[in-house]
């Protein structure tokens, strides 16, 4: 299933007809814990009522979209009992493990899905498989930095060469794939490719939230004329909010107008935005580096990591950690503990 399109969930699945849902409702709306369900019991409900595998897949996807992980998992297991080589079921289970942050288990199932593709595998299933794999290897960065960056990028490229898709499905997938490719090239500091893919993503659905990454990528590329154009689009479409003030501060920092940059940092600081405050610390740390105040730069880099510890694994920020001799052992231990916990998670 297509899980996320940048910031919204795409609902592209066919609704299951009412009579199918009514047969399942006595099982899946009961107060009995899901763990208590026996596969043999569910098999009677699904198989003996002659539900098609396609209908059962839709039910499993619907449970996933409603975050009913255990019910979705049990339904996928039924599909595999009936069809052990069902690629869609393996993809679905991979999504489930990715949802609970057990990435190795998710990877195991996506590779099982890939083993089973053949000349009869539909293009819809193929693009979903490659898209899912790309998402998964991107998620790995939470605990492993950019270790799987090449795999993420390669699977997205595989998704882009799948033939036989209708335009609606192409647009739905490509919008997100282009966005993610833009991010990968940002990490690789290939700003020309970064801008290219961000623009391709925007051109599909004209999502105005894309103005921000396009703006920043132009500044990194040193193209301040186009950066300024997107800065104005940000202001017109989003108003003078925290992100706009931060963009203005960043723009003026890169242009060397440090007094003007500081004014916008002060404006951004006045806006209560705890969830993304790490962005403020990152931008102002760069500002202090530019003006040669390395003590202040280090102070804000430390606060940056305090507000989003996962960046300590990112190769982009490793040089800052080394340059300022920042002690990240605490964050490494916290990440390791969380990773071990999540990688041992079971669905049932």
pTM, full prediction = 0.85
The mean predicted confidence, pLDDT, of the chain is 88
Number of Cβ within 10 Å of residue 99's Cβ equals: 16
pLDDT of residue 332: 95
User: CA 192, CA 333: separation in Å to the nearest integer?
Assistant: 37
pLDDT at 11 > cutoff 80: no
Question: Tell me: the pLDDT tens digits for 142-186?
Answer: 999 999 999 999 999 999 999 999 999 999 999 999 999 999 999
Tell me the residue ranges of DSSP E strands in 46-157.
none
CATH of 240-343, one of 2.50.20, 1.10.287, 1.25.40, 1.10.10: 1.25.40
Contacts of 84 (CB under 8 A, 6+ apart): none
Question: Angle, nearest 10°, between helix axes 123-139 and 103-115?
Answer: 150
The whole-number average pLDDT for the span 133-138 is 97
Backbone torsions φ then ψ of 5, nearest 5 degrees? -110, 85
Question: Tell me: the pLDDT tens digits for 253-305?
Answer: 999 999 999 999 999 999 988 788 999 999 999 999 999 999 999 999 999 99
User: CA 317, CA 298: separation in Å to the nearest integer?
Assistant: 12
Question: Tell me: the pLDDT tens digits for 118-131?
Answer: 999 999 999 999 99
Residue 1's pLDDT band (cuts 50, 70, 90): low
Residue 16's pLDDT band (cuts 50, 70, 90): very low
Question: Tell me: the pLDDT tens digits for 216-267?
Answer: 999 999 999 999 999 999 999 999 999 999 999 999 999 999 999 999 999 9
Question: Tell me: the pLDDT tens digits for 17-36?
Answer: 222 333 233 333 333 334 43
């Amino acid at each position: 299933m297509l899980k996320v399109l940048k910031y919204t969930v795409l609902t592209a699945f066919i609704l299951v007809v009412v009579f199918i849902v009514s047969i399942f409702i006595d099982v899946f709306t009961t107060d009995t814990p899901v763990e208590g369900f026996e596969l043999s019991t569910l098999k009677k409900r699904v198989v003996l009522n002659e539900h098609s595998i396609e209908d059962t897949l839709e039910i499993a996807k619907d449970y996933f979209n409603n975050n009913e992980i255990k019910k979705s998992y049990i339904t996928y297991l039924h599909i595999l009992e009936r069809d052990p080589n069902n690629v869609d079921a393996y993809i679905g289970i991979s999504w489930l493990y990715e949802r609970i942050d057990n990435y190795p288990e998710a990877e195991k199932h996506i590779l099982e899905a890939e083993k089973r593709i053949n000349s009869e595998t539909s293009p819809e299933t193929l693009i979903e498989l490659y898209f899912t794999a790309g998402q998964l290897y991107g998620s790995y960065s939470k605990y492993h930095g950019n270790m799987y960056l090449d795999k993420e990028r390669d699977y997205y490229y595989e998704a882009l060469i799948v033939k036989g898709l209708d335009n609606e499905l192409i647009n739905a997938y490509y919008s997100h794939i282009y966005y993610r490719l833009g991010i990968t090239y940002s990490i690789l500091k290939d700003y020309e490719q970064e801008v290219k893919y961000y623009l391709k993503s925007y051109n599909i659905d004209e999502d105005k939230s894309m103005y921000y990454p396009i703006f920043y990528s132009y500044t990194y590329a040193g193209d301040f004329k186009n950066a300024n154009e997107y800065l104005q689009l940000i202001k017109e479409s989003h108003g003078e909010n925290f992100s706009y003030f931060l963009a203005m501060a960043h723009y003026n920092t890169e242009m060397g107008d440090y007094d003007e940059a500081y004014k916008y940092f002060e404006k951004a600081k006045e806006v209560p935005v705890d969830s993304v405050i790490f962005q403020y610390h990152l931008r102002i740390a760069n500002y202090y580096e530019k003006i040669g105040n390395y003590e202040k730069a280090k102070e804000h880099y430390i606060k940056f990591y305090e507000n989003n510890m996962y960046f300590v694994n990112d190769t982009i920020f490793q040089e800052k950690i080394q340059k300022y001799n920042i002690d990240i052992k605490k964050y490494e231990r916290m990440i390791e503990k969380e990773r071990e916990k999540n990688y041992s998670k079971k669905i049932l």
